[in-house]
Amino acid sequence: MSLSVQHPPSLAIFCKVVDNYGDIGICWRLARQLHCEHGVAVTLWVDDLISFRRICPEIDVTLESQQAAGVIVRHWLGQDGVFKPEEIADIVIEFFACDIPPGYIAAMAQCAPHPVWLNLEGLTAEEWVEGCHTLPSSRHGMQKHFFFPGFTGKTGGLLREAALEQRRAAFQRDPAAMAVFLAQFGVMPAEMAAIKVSLFCYPHAPVVQLLAAWEQGSEPVTCLAPEGVAFDAVRAFIGDDAAAGASRTRGNLTLRVLPFVPQDDYDQLLWACDVNFVRGEDSFVRAQWAGKPFIWHIYPQDENLHHVKLRAFLQRYAVDAAGAIDSVGAASEDWNGGISANEGWAGLWPALQADMARIAARAGAWQVQMLENGDLASNLLAFARSASRTE
C-alpha cells in the first residue's frame, strides 16, 4: 500500500553520533517535528545516549528503549540483530550514510511493498547538490534515494518547525522575557546593554585571539559559552574554574559559562544574542532562523574540503544588493583556519561591528528567501509519498 496523507506513516531514523551534538541535534529536531506536526510514528535509533541527553535532559542513558516527546528512542547498540518485516517502518532514514543494521535491511527486503529508503545527507550550498537531490540507487534489490537539505527550491530545504518564526518574533518583541531568560544564566541587567554573543565552536577555533579583541575593544561584550566549548581558552580567561556558572570580567569583556540546554532553550539563546558563533549543521541552521549576524565554524574535513563548503555558502549568503559583505567573508575564513587577515581578530571584529546593520539586514532577507523553499520535514514526507507510489 502506498503512503497516504490520510494515514500517517511510520518512520525510523538511524543516527550515529560523530559531531557530538550536530548529528543527534538534527535527527532529534526532525523526529519531533515529524511526530508533532505530521502525526508520524517515529522511532529514533541512536548510538550515543550520553550526547543525546545533553540536549534532551529527559533521556535515560540506561534504557534500551524509551519514549520522549512522543518519539520512541532506541539505543542502537550495534549492527547485530534479527528483525521481522512487521517491525519495519514505512519510511527508513539513514542519516549521513550511517550503514543501518544488515538484519534491518534484510527485513526491509521482505516487505511488500518495500519501505521508502532515504539517505538524508549533510547540508551544503554547493551547486552539485541540486543534481543529486532525490537520485535513486539500487541496494539489496530495493531503491534508496539520496535526500539533500539545501538552500534552493531544487533541494529539500532546511529544518524549520511551523511555529518557529512566530515564536521567535514574539520572544524578540519582549525585552522583559529576554532579560528573564538570560538572567537564569547570571546575566546582569547592566550586561543587557552590551553586545551579547553566543559562542559554540570546535576546539581549534582562534578563540584566544577573539577574546582578546573583545577584552581590548571599544565596546562592552557579554560572551555566553556552553560548558566545555573552547575549554582551554575559556579556562585561561576565567581561571581554574570553567564549569557552568563561572564568569569573569576583564577589560570590556564579560565571559559567562552556560550549562548545555535543551534545543528550544538554545533557540532562545540565539534569539537573545546580537551575534552568534555556531558550528556544524544544527546550530548553523538555527542561527539562520534566528535572523541575527552569525559566524559559522564548519566540521573539519580531510584536505580542507570544508573550505570549499564554506565558500559555497558565503557566495550565496554574504552578499547583498551592494555586493559581497567582505567583513563576513574575512572573519569566516579566519575562524575556519583559512586565509587570515594580517591584523587578525583585532581588526576583524571592528570590521564586523562596522557592518552589523548591513549584516543584520542580509540575515532578514536570507530568512525570507529560505522560507520560499518550504521546510525539510514536509518536503521529505511529500517525496516519500511520491516515491512509494512508484516502488
Positions marked active-site = 23, 281
Peptide bond into 113 cis (omega under 30): yes
Q: Determine the Cα angle at 131 with ends 127 and 137, to 5°.
A: 135
DSSP structure class, residue 114: P
- By the 8 A CB rule, do 365 and 371 touch? no
The amino acid at 259: P
The amino acid at 257: V
The bridge status of strand 247-250 relative to strand 221-226 is unpaired
Question: What grid cell was written down for 39?
Answer: 502525526
The amino acid at 359: I
Please give the C-alpha separations between residue 286 and each of 199, 246, 292, 294, in angstroms, as whole numbers: 14, 26, 10, 10
- By the 8 A CB rule, do 118 and 135 touch? no
Q: SS3 of 22, please?
A: helix
Of 6, 78, 4, whose CA–CA distance to 48 is shortest? Answer: 78
Please give the C-alpha separations between residue 32 and each of 73, 161, 184, 375, in angstroms, as whole numbers: 11, 9, 26, 14
Dihedral in degrees, nearest 10, Cα atoms 371, 144, 385, 380: -20
At 169, give phi and psi (nearest 5°).
-60, -40
**Residue 67's CB: how many other CB atoms inside 10 A?**
11
Question: What grid cell was written down for 87?
Answer: 517491525
Please, which residues have CB within 8 angstroms of residue 390's CB and are 6 or more apart in sequence? none
Please state, in angstroms and rounded to a whole number, the distance separating the CA atoms of residues 54 and 71: 17
Please state, in angstroms and rounded to a whole number, the distance separating the CA atoms of residues 314 and 328: 8
Q: Which helix (H) or strand (E) holds 49?
A: helix 49-55
Question: What grid cell was written down for 184?
Answer: 537564569
